[in-house]
Structure formats: structure tokens, C-alpha cells
Amino acid sequence: MEKINAVITGVGGYVPEYVLNNEELSRMVDTNDEWIMTRIGIKERRILNEEGLGTSYMARKAVKQLLEKTGTDPEEIECLIMATTTPDMPIPSTASIVVGRTGLKNAFCVDLNAACCGFLYAMDMGASMIQSGRYKKIIVCGGDKLSSIVDYNDRATCPIFGDGVGAVLVEGTTEDLGWKDSYLRADGKGLPYLCLKGGGSACPASYFTIDHNMHKIHQEGRTVYKYAVTSMSDSCALIAERNNLNKDNITWVLPHQANVRIIEAVANRLEMPMDKVMLNIQRYGNTSAGTIPLALWDYEKQLRKGDNIILTAFGGGFTWGAAYMKWGYDGNK
Ligand code: UT7
């Protein structure tokens, strides 16, 4: 039997309309455009500010666009994996809300929480399902409504994060394309440095958790930064080496968008010029599991069949890794 490869055959995305720029942010906390641009590289981020809307709202917009762009009948989709750290609510899963609102009548679905590494993890699992031959068409979504858990009094974290969701269609092919290799890890060391302590089973929501600001992200930026640079660079180097990839045959590097200085360090390690690195952090900030699919959404027009792409991410846990994929089609669908 011929080997089945798992390839992305379309991309959809959604970012909310409201733009929170550095100017407005500097009226909320003691910061300024120059600091944010030099230290992080973000000019503005999108915020979902309509009452009552959560991550599923953005995901269903992204999925609907994906189905339309690719001319896919929703009933053909067999599974939807939703990578997110900001589910609409603990029960039911955000994935089930998305499935219900997009007419995916024949799909099972699941939420996956691997923080900013979520999309990479979800793609690896989704690709394995397709490669097994048991599934023909699945959707992998990634994204977050980080504005729901950001403390807008904390100048060290609030400039970083934004809201948005991307979605990709994954199908089988016998061509030499698609998801080729991955290296994914987690170590639990990140708990003190990047967490949100309240509202889970260890500390359910209470007056205490609210009084102690435990429903907002806590991040020790400097420590996270150091781990991120090392883990992402090492994973990329490993993936490049074992697939005989180098600066001459890598077409694009697609890094998680957390800080432009982290991205430059990764590019530097691979000896890749920055014009070969997908970058949209300046417009969306860090959308956690959304950064990678949203970058594919933004760059889709420029991608060509056979492009060698190295993807990499790092997030809470810590979770991290890199993957190699060969792009499946030319330009916009
Ligand atoms: O996506 C998942 C993983 N997350 C990441 O990858 C994030 C990794 N970390 C980072 O990107 C960076 O550490 C930050 C962007 C969070 C912070 O940048 P930094 O260069 O590490 O700054 P710092 O925390 O070391 O702070 C340097 C100075 C401090 O002042 P002093 O103590 O040197 O006087 C901060 O108080 O910058 C100050 N500062 C700010 N100043 C103006 C911190 N935040 C701000 C701000 N505006 N927004």
C-alpha cells in the first residue's frame, strides 16, 4: 500500500475588528510604543471586546471561511481538534461548540491545551490520524482569547497578548508533501514561571482567588524568554539536521510569535535571513495557539507547492518543539 502523507489543503482565519495599539495601551499602563517595539516588536493587537463572545466565536468564523475557501461540504469533516488555553467554558469543550455551529455533523472533536505550543501538538496528532488512513479530512484549529485572562494593570504582560484563531484543513495525499517530521516535548518546569492559578480543580473560583488576582496570567518574562530561545533554537536545529535541511533548502521558518527578539535568535541559529521568516507579531501580538495558523493565513498567497517550512513553538508547561512540512499548493485557495 502507498504511504499516505498528511497535507494542509487550505487555511482560514479570524481576528477581531477592535485594534488595541501601543498608544492606547500606554494610557492604560506605564509603557510606551518605543519600549514595546524595541523589547517585543508589537505595534498592535486585536481584541474581542463584544460581551459574551469567546474563543469559539473566532474559531467558527475561521472554520466557516476555511470551508468556503476550499469548497468543502461540512459533512465531509470527520474530526476537529481545537488547540486553545482559553476555552469558552470548562464544559462543554470549545471544539463541540464550534462543530455545532458550523454544521460538522459527522465529526468528533476535542480541545487540546498545550498553551502556545497547542497548534503544533494538534497538527502532529491530526497528521497522524490522516497518515493512519482511518481519516480523510479533518480540521485543526488553534487560537485564543487571551484578553480574557490578561491583567491590564500588569505592564510586563499586557502588551504581549492578543486574540485570534486560525484553522487548517488536513487531508491525505500520496504525493511527497505535507507533515514530514516533528520533535515535541514538555517538562513541567514552567509551572512557576507561566501560569494561571485560579479557576481550575486545584483552586476553584472563590472570593479568595478573585481577591488574589488568580484568574489572570502570571509570567516571569525573563526566565520564559531564556527557555524559549534555547528550546526553539535547539528543536529547529535538530529537525533541520535529521531532515538534511539548511539555509539553502529551507524556504520558510514559521515561529510562534511571542517576541521578535526570540524569533530573530531562532532565525540566527538556522542562519536564515529575516525575509524568510513569517512574521505578523507586529499586527496581532501573541495569540498563543493562534500564531502559527494565523501566520499561514497571512502568508498563504506567497507559499508555493513543495516549499520546505520549519515550524517551531514554545509555551506554558513548558511545552516546545519544532516540525517540518512540505507545503501542498500554490498561493491562495
Ligand atoms: O508565548 C509564550 C511564552 N512567552 C514568551 O515567550 C515571552 C518571553 N518573555 C519576553 O518576551 C520578555 O521577557 C518580556 C517582553 C515579557 C519582557 O521583556 P524583558 O526585556 O525581558 O524585560 P524585563 O522583564 O527584564 O524588564 C526590563 C525593564 C524592567 O525595568 P527595570 O527593573 O530594569 O527598571 C521592567 O520594569 O523593563 C520594565 N518594563 C517595562 N517598561 C516599559 C517591563 N514591562 C514594561 C513595559 N513598558 N511594558
> Tell me, what CATH number does 105's domain have?
3.40.47.10
Please check whether residue 333 lies inside any domain of the structure: no
Same domain, 299 and 210: yes
d(CA 196, CA 201): 12
Please check whether residue 184 lies inside any domain of the structure: yes
Please check whether residue 331 lies inside any domain of the structure: no
Q: Which atom of ligand 1 is nearest to the CA of 261?
A: 11
Same domain, 158 and 99: yes
Please check whether residue 332 lies inside any domain of the structure: no
Same domain, 140 and 198: no
527578539: which residue's cell? 261
d(CA 107, CA 85): 22
Give the per-residue pLDDT at 332: 78
Mean pLDDT of 221-228: 98
Residues in the ligand 1 pocket, defined by CB under 6 Å: 31, 35, 39-40, 116, 155-156, 159-160, 221-222, 224-225, 228, 258-259, 262, 286, 314-315
Same domain, 322 and 290: yes
- Of the three residues 119, 153, 176, the one that is the final residue of a domain is 176
d(CA 122, CA 166): 12
Q: Which atom of ligand 1 is nearest to the CA of 221?
A: 13
The predicted-structure confidence for 103-150, as pLDDT tens digits, reads as follows 999 999 999 999 999 999 999 999 999 999 999 999 999 999 999 999
Report residue 39 as a C-alpha cell. Answer: 523589547
Which of 158, 256, 259, 308 is labelled catalytic? 256
Same domain, 25 and 167: yes
Peptide bond into 293 cis (omega under 30): no
The predicted-structure confidence for 168-214, as pLDDT tens digits, reads as follows 999 999 999 999 999 999 999 999 999 999 999 999 999 999 999 99
Same domain, 237 and 187: yes
Report residue 9 as a C-alpha cell. Answer: 489543503
Residue 227 · residue 190 · CB < 8 Å: yes
- Of the three residues 151, 176, 201, the one that is the final residue of a domain is 176
Peptide bond into 161 cis (omega under 30): no
Please check whether residue 61 lies inside any domain of the structure: yes
Please check whether residue 54 lies inside any domain of the structure: yes
Query: What is the number of domains present in the chain?
Result: 2
Give the per-residue pLDDT at 16: 98
The predicted-structure confidence for 1-13, as pLDDT tens digits, reads as follows 789 999 999 999 9
**Boundaries of domain holding 289:** 180-326
Same domain, 158 and 265: no
From first CA to last CA, the distance across the chain in angstroms is 30
